[in-house]
Each structure stands twice: as structure tokens, then as C-alpha cells.
Amino acid sequence: MKNILFITLIFLGVVYATVNFEEKISSIYGLIDNVKDGLAEVTKNASRDANYSFRFLGDTTKTYIMSTYTRYLLAPNYVSNNASEYDTMLTICDARLYATAKHEIEDDRNVLMKQRYNQYYFIETSRK
């Protein structure tokens, strides 16, 4: 009986921690969630084989990639900043800064989405 209790305690510990973790994460909505939600439209229509990258306008130090087949956002530093390595590169601009940053956006690029979450623009910037 004590043997069963030993194992049960481990599982109860995991369940308790998980319940608390779930409560914690449901109250957090960060940058990654924001971008992920914003990109939902793009990923819905994109090819599963497509290899996307995006970066924040004006911030050349951070490049993010998002692989549509995983529906998963990947984060900076490990990722190359070279647009030619990706099928599509998107630039994200904070909607509140759009007016001041407009001169950095070339005319022939398409705005895919405007102020979807009142935070970002998604702009197609290059294609292989």
C-alpha cells in the first residue's frame, strides 16, 4: 500500500503543479501571443511548406522566424537575418509608430493586415 502511495504522491505533485501552472499562464498574454494571434491569418493561407521570417521594423538586431507548418513562432538571435534564406520575410511595425516609421516602408510592398490587434502591421517585404 505504501508503495502505491509513493507513486501516487509523485503523480499528485505533478497534477497540483500543472493546475497552478495552467492558472498562471491563462493570465499571461505576452508579445509571443500577440504576434502569434496576429499571424493567424497569414498562417491560415500560407503553404505548409513555406518558410517565413519576420522582424520588427526599425529593430534590425532581432529577427524572428515563424514556420507555418508548426504554427509556431520562433524567437531571435539564433536566426539568420538574411531575407534570401526564407520564402517570405515579413516586417512588423507597431501601429502606434507607423506614422513615424512610414518612410522605411517601400511603396511596392503589400500590407497584409492592418491593426489587427491594434498593435502590428504585417508587411510582405521580400520573396525568393
Partner 1 sequence: MSTPNRFIIFMAILIGCIGSLYFFSLLFFIPLYVTTALIVVAAALLFMWIIPSGATPDNNLPAYSNRKEWVGIVILAYGIIWMAIVAPEKANKYGEWDAYTIWNLHARQLADPQHWKTIFRYTDVHADYPLCLPATLAYFMRLFSSPDSLILPFVFHMLVTISLPALIYGELWRKNAVVAAIVLAMFPIQVFYIFQGTSQYADVLLSFFFLCAIICMNYSRQNRKYLMLSVLFLGCCAWTKNEGLLLATVMLVVYSRRYFAKDNIKYTLLTLLAPIAVIGTFKIICPVSNDLVSESGTTTWGYLLDSDRYIMVFNYFILTAGKKFVYIGLLFGIYLTICLVRKKRPGLEFLLFASCLFAYFMVYVLTPKDLKWHLYTSCERLFVQLYPLMLYAIGMDIARMKWSISEIVQQKNSLQQPITAGTKQKIKAAAPSNKHNRGKKEKKR
Residues that bind partner 1 (CB under 8 A): 2-3, 5-7, 9-14, 16-18, 20-25, 28, 30, 32, 48-49, 51, 65, 67, 69-72, 74-75, 78-80
- Measured from the CB atom, the residue of 23 and 106 that comes closer to partner 1 is 23
- Cβ contact 66:73 at 8 Å: yes
> Which residue lies nearer to partner 1 by CB, 3 or 118?
3
Burial track 76-95 (b if 16+ CB lie within 10 A, e otherwise)? eeebeeebeebebbbbbbee
Smallest CA-to-CA distance from 65 within 43, 48, 94, 86 is with 86
Residues present in the chain in total: 128
Angle at 32 between CA 28 and CA 35, to 5 degrees: 120
Which DSSP letter does residue 110 get? P
18 vs 100, beta carbon nearer partner 1: 18
- Residue 29 beta carbon to partner 1: minimum distance, rounded to whole angstroms: 9
Please state the closest distance from residue 44 (CB atom) to partner 1, in A: 14
Distance in Å, CB of 5 to partner 1, minimum: 6
CB of 9 to partner 1, least distance (A): 5
Which grid coordinates belong to 40?
493567424
Give whichever of 45 and 77 is closer to partner 1, judged by the CB atom.
77
